[in-house]
Structure 1
Amino acid sequence: MSLRHRRISEHNADETGIDLAPMLDFVLNLLIFFIITAVFLKEIGITVSRPNASSSVEKKESSSIVIAIDAAGDILVDRKLTDERSVRAAIERLHAQRPEDAVVVVAHEDAPTGILVSVIDQARQGGVMAVSIAASQNAM
């Protein structure tokens, strides 16, 4: 009986080891999957470059149509209070008088982003393609 007992214990010792090959295959497949899918991910958004000095905005303001947006969301087009829906008409009128001018949107840092995007869209619809964005702590 002792010989039979030894054969059974040797047989059990061979079966108790863990086979790592399937796990390694699975991990390798996951790694390949994530590497391939990471290549296809793209960030959506626009790149905005802000001026570093206040003098860069001042140079542009002398030959630009300035739109200011304060923290409350009020819009000033060339220092005249304007409704959000009439920005396009004001830009078309000013662009007809000064066709070489660009538009600079000076927004307060707490200004609503939706209004800023709407003003930029309306300026482009008004015929001005050169629209710049500037941030200010006091837009008025």
Structure 2
Amino acid sequence: MKRKKHTSAEDEAQIDMTPMLDIVFIMLIFFIVTTSFVKEKGLDVNRPEDNESQTNKPSQALSIRIDENGTIVMGGREVDVRRVVANAQTYLAENVTDTAAIQAHENAEHGLVVEVMNQVKIAGIDKVSVLVKGSS
């Protein structure tokens, strides 16, 4: 009588995984190919182009001070009324602004304040505000 060889349980229980992996890859390819990509609906945004020449700093108003003696001070130095236009244009060349603030003493001559306002408008600044400073 022939004796059967005893085989281990692990040798008899092996399952070939190759066909299952083939099916999984075929299904994966099928789903990738058949997937339809839908473009989401929404508003298109038109963004402005970035200009390096424009600064993100807020514009500062041109500051002019007139004291009770009629002395005009722009940028920390005394200025003659005839030189207000030139100084305002120099300020505009260095800073982007469209406003000027004239701080006048309450005893300053009104004609001088009006003349300074006119000179600033000639220089190209349209928005001019006048602040009256009292003698307190």
**1:123 and 2:120 are equivalent in the alignment:** yes
Q: Distance in 2 between matches of 1:100 and 1:72?
A: 28
* TM-score, normalised relative to structure 1: 0.52
User: Do the aligned partners of 2:62 and 2:101 also contact (CA within 8 Å) in 1?
Assistant: yes
Q: Distance between the aligned counterparts of 2:127 and 2:67, measured in 1?
A: 22
Residues 43-122 of structure 1 mapped to structure 2, 5 A cutoff: 63-122=60-119
RMSD between aligned residues: 1.4
Give the percent of matched residue pairs that are identical in Structure 1 and Structure 2.
30
Paired with 1:89 and 1:76, the residues of 2 have a C-alpha distance of 14
What does residue 10 of structure 1 align with? none
Q: CA deviation at 1:101?
A: 4.8
Aligned to 2:133: 136
Q: Which amino acid aligns with 1:100?
A: T
Moved more, 91-100 or 108-117: 91-100
CA separation in 1, counterparts of 2:73 and 2:97?
21
Shift of residue 85, structure 1, vs aligned partner:
0.5
Larger radius of gyration: 2
Q: Is the 8 A contact 2:60 2:95 kept in 1?
A: no
Secondary structure of residue in 2 paired with 1:86: helix
Indicate if the aligned counterparts of 2:98 and 2:126 stay in contact, CA closer than 8 A: no
SS at match of 1:71: coil
TM-score by length of 2: 0.54
Moved over 4 A (4+): none
Letter in 2 for 1:127: G
C-alpha separation in 2, matches of 1:69 and 1:91: 15
Aligned residue-pair number: 77
SS of 1:121's partner is helix
Letter aligned with residue 116 of structure 1: V
Q: Name the structure where helix makes up a greater proportion of residues.
A: 1
